[in-house]
Amino acid sequence: MTTRKKERVNAFDWHKAFPSAFEHGGFDAIVGNPSYVKLQNFRTVHADMATFLREGRPGLVTGPYTSTASGNFDLYLPFIEKGITLLNGRGRLGYIAPSLWITNEYGEGLRQRVAAGRNLDRWIDFKAYQVFEEATNYTALQFFTKARNDAIRVAVAPTGEFPITLRRMRGMRSFTTGRCSESAGCFLRVRRER
């Protein structure tokens, strides 16, 4: 295997690249706009990386990503999953990314992962409003924490303007998709703890 191919296939070593952050358990904050690439397109160009994301690398610490276990995943899903794992105990992650993983079959793995960790903290959904001129996406600002949350703050911004308040949903144990009216400003159904 050539050096170039090894560099392309080998996963980035976060601990080696940022030792001071990991002396404190991980990053305090991560902000980004992960790549939006459907598996079908990604597999055509980078079949070996698509296999790595779905199956991991046997014999190494890196296992498969939970977020890639369902259907034809999109590349932004493992970005979200990895981002959460890189946070320290009080760390926060904020991404602008497609919102469809909440409802589509391919998002099942990430939904399970996020629900189990209760990592979702805030969600601002732009609905059909197109945030990016060069692409058609259903986008949301998604905020996660490493610590478990007892509520998800949700808002809808269908005109692209930010709402003044976020609706707080308490007692969250897990979430599933649900339908709320636009005026209610929510789209998640939360199963209450008993």
Query: Each residue of 16-66: pLDDT tens digit?
Result: 999 999 999 999 999 999 887 776 667 777 777 777 777 777 666 566 788
Judge contact between 78 and 13, C-beta under 8 A.
Answer: no
What's the CATH code, domain 26-192?
3.40.50.150
Average pLDDT over residues 160-167: 64
Write down the pTM of the prediction: 0.76
User: Any idea of the CA torsion for 81, 125, 186, 181, to the nearest 10 degrees?
Assistant: -140
CA-based nearest residue to 152, from 127, 131, 130, 177: 177
Cα–Cα dist 173/193, whole Å: 6
Predicted pLDDT at 21: 96
Q: How high does pLDDT run on average in the chain? A: 78
Predicted pLDDT at 183: 37
**Helix, strand, coil: what percent of the chain each, to 5?**
30, 30, 40
Predicted pLDDT at 139: 92
Cα–Cα dist 70/23, whole Å: 34
Predicted pLDDT at 174: 42
Predicted pLDDT at 193: 38
CB-count burial class (<10 Å; 0-12, 13-18, 19+) for 43: middle
